[in-house]
Structure 1
Amino acid sequence: MVPRAYLEYLFQFHRRRDYYECHEILENHWKSEGRKNGIWVGLIQVAAALHHYRRGNGKGAGKLIEKSLFRLSGEEEALKRLGFDSGKFLSLLEQTRENIRKGRPYQDVDLPLTDPGVRREYEEYARKREREEGEREPAGGVRKTGEGEAPRK
């Protein structure tokens, strides 16, 4: 089993595209663990980089994606335990870094979650969260957080 905070990170990352919330969730988890596990810092940096990239802050996004690549490059086993194909994950970060460097417009990315057990755990968690939100939301559904954010100038 993976930590609940990680499942919430994946939910916010893939279903809501709320990268700021991803950062907050894992930062709190990392602090509660006594700041021991560097993998969380790398994932926090990925979310923060995408938050800046989407808002048009290429300089901040570039610095953060570079830091995340540096931190996560030596964490192949930890990435695997979290359900990722580490090669695909790091390639995705490298491609994102290249897109930022070349000034290409932001595009959503999906993290390569390939472990069937972790993927199943995440999908069950996501369905439960969406049901809970559906019970609290008015008719018409849930607006994705982050929609309508204006790019920074």
Structure 2
Amino acid sequence: MSYPEQYLQFIDLFNKKEYYECHDLLEEIWMEDKSNKFLQGLLQMAVGLYHFSGGNIKGARWMFENSRKYLTPYAPRHWDLDVSAVLAFLNECIAALPEENAIPYTEAKAMPFPDLHLTLGTR
């Protein structure tokens, strides 16, 4: 199956932890079809990771929870992505978040946090 180039670039940038940039890529195609909740869920996951990296825990939690809500109907696999693995990652992220609404940037950078490497393909 053929996918939009921005989706493929998103996977690459996500794996490089360039969360703000990969959000921008998917936003381009999501704006053309806002009913695509799969793309919206991936966008929100990237934004959640971006928020976390800056210490915005409240924003990260909100984005992770919404991402999980949007991606759940697409499990176990959609657009050659293991959505079940993404959902497990989101659950780990939510569980790893501190209770505070915000933490210093340096604390967020030093904190161990779940990691996910996205790959496309069948099992």
Shorter-chain TM range is: 0.7 to 0.9
Establish whether residue 7 from structure 1 lines up as the match of residue 13 from structure 2.
Answer: no
Match of 1:82 among 58, 73, 79: 79
CA contact (8 A) 1:53 1:106 kept: no
Match of 1:113 among 105, 112, 119: 119
Within a 5 Å distance, the mapping from 1:34-73 to structure 2 comes to 34-73=33-72
- 5+ long unaligned stretches in structure 1: 118-153
Identity %: 27
Give the letter for the 1:88 counterpart. Answer: A
Deviation beyond 4 Å, 4+ runs, structure 1: 101-104
Corresponding residue number in structure 1 for 2:103: none
Give the letter for the 2:22 counterpart. Answer: C
Q: Matches of 2:75 and 2:18 in 1, distance apart? A: 25
Give the letter for the 1:113 counterpart. Answer: T
Shift of 1:38: 1.0
Larger radius of gyration: 1
Corresponding residue number in structure 1 for 2:29: 29
Q: Deviations over 1:86-143 (max 9, x none)?
A: 32221111011101145782536224435259xxxxxxxxxxxxxxxxxxxxxxxxxx
CA contact (8 A) 2:23 2:47 kept: yes
- Say which SS state the counterpart of residue 65 (structure 1) adopts: helix
Q: Matches of 1:10 and 1:22 in 2, distance apart? A: 8
Q: Matches of 2:118 and 2:25 in 1, distance apart? A: 20
- 5+ long unaligned stretches in structure 2: 101-107
**Count of matched residue positions in the alignment of Structure 1 and Structure 2:** 113
TM-score calculated relative to the size of structure 2: 0.79
CA contact (8 A) 1:22 1:47 kept: yes
Shift of 1:76: 1.6
RMSD: 2.3
